[in-house]
């Protein structure tokens, strides 16, 4: 357990906290002293398991289900979370679904589902929670976006559109709410290894993932959910009190690397500037 409990006494709602990144965020918030409402859509048993882990840490844990493709259920989640805790000090909008499809094959119902779950439902959950925050002492919001909202990947136009919307919404909402005591920031994770990757990518193994990350990620590994959880705890704590409207990229250097550079660990054989930069010709 961390010696410094950044969120002591806070009440948090973490959406999509039954699997992957969300459950680690929920447990980390409890480690940092918060009581947590865990939201699930499909995996109730996972959420209940993590709730027991939170209770073992001496914190309260409430589990609530809601289908984010149904706006009424999403709004009910916010109301139930407030009723259960009395106040929500920290909201982490983590719930979301991913999807890849060639642009010309995307169907309107697929478009609606992605935007309903990734953008529309979190937008109105946030609206209800912010109303509660402003009746008390304010609060913090951490939105989980993706580097897909910053860079292009084939067959991800729809998913990227939702993640880019989250980044834009974070900026606009942050400047509207900051003077009212509500801070809004976001995280754009890169490759974070979760169980869904191994189900979705044919033939992907743990060893293959490790090698792929070593080859392509400057830090030579993929991220893990705890990487995101620690940053989310920071953004919802007073340690980030002067940070407003920012999207922090958490990707091991992926977006910092120029895409034209494929072999970034070996010294380049190219010698630019030989004719006009002193000592450009190295041995």
Q: Which residues are catalytic?
A: 159
Q: Which two tokens stand for residue 56?
A: 């073992």
Question: From CA 36, how far away is CA 23, in angstroms rounded?
Answer: 11
Angle at 280 between CA 276 and CA 282, to 5 degrees: 155
DSSP state of 192: B
DSSP 205-254: -HHHHHHHHHHH-TTSS-B-HHHHHHHHHHHTSGGGTT--S-EEEESTTT
CA nearest to 182, candidates 143, 144, 133: 133
Question: From CA 182, how far away is CA 184, in angstroms rounded?
Answer: 7
């Amino acid at each position: 357990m961390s010696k410094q409990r950044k969120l002591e006494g806070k009440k948090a709602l973490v959406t999509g906290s039954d699997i992957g990144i969300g459950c680690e965020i929920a447990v980390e918030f409890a480690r940092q002293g918060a009581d947590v409402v865990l939201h699930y859509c499909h995996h109730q048993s996972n959420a209940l398991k993590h709730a027991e882990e939170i209770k073992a840490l001496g914190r309260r844990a409430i589990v609530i289900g809601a289908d984010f493709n149904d706006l009424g259920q999403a709004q009910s989640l916010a109301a139930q979370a407030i009723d259960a805790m009395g106040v929500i000090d920290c909201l982490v909008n983590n719930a979301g679904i991913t999807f890849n499809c060639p642009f010309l094959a995307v169907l309107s119902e697929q478009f609606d589902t992605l935007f309903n779950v990734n953008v529309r439902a979190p937008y109105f959950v946030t609206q209800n929670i912010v109303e509660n925050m402003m009746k008390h002492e304010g609060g913090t919001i951490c939105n989980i976006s993706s580097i897909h909202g910053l860079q292009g990947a084939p067959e991800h136009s729809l998913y990227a559109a939702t993640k880019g919307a989250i980044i834009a919404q974070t900026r606009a909402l942050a400047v509207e709410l900051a003077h009212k005591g509500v801070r809004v920031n976001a995280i754009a994770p890169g490759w974070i290894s979760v169980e869904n990757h191994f189900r979705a990518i044919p033939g992907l193994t743990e060893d293959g993932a490790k090698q792929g990350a070593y080859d392509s990620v400057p830090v030579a590994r993929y991220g893990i959910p705890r990487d995101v959880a620690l940053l989310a705890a920071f953004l919802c704590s007073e340690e980030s009190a002067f940070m407003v409207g920012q999207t922090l990229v958490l990707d091991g250097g992926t977006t910092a690397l120029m895409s034209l550079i494929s072999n970034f660990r070996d010294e380049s054989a190219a010698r630019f500037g030989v004719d006009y930069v002193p000592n450009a010709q190295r041995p």
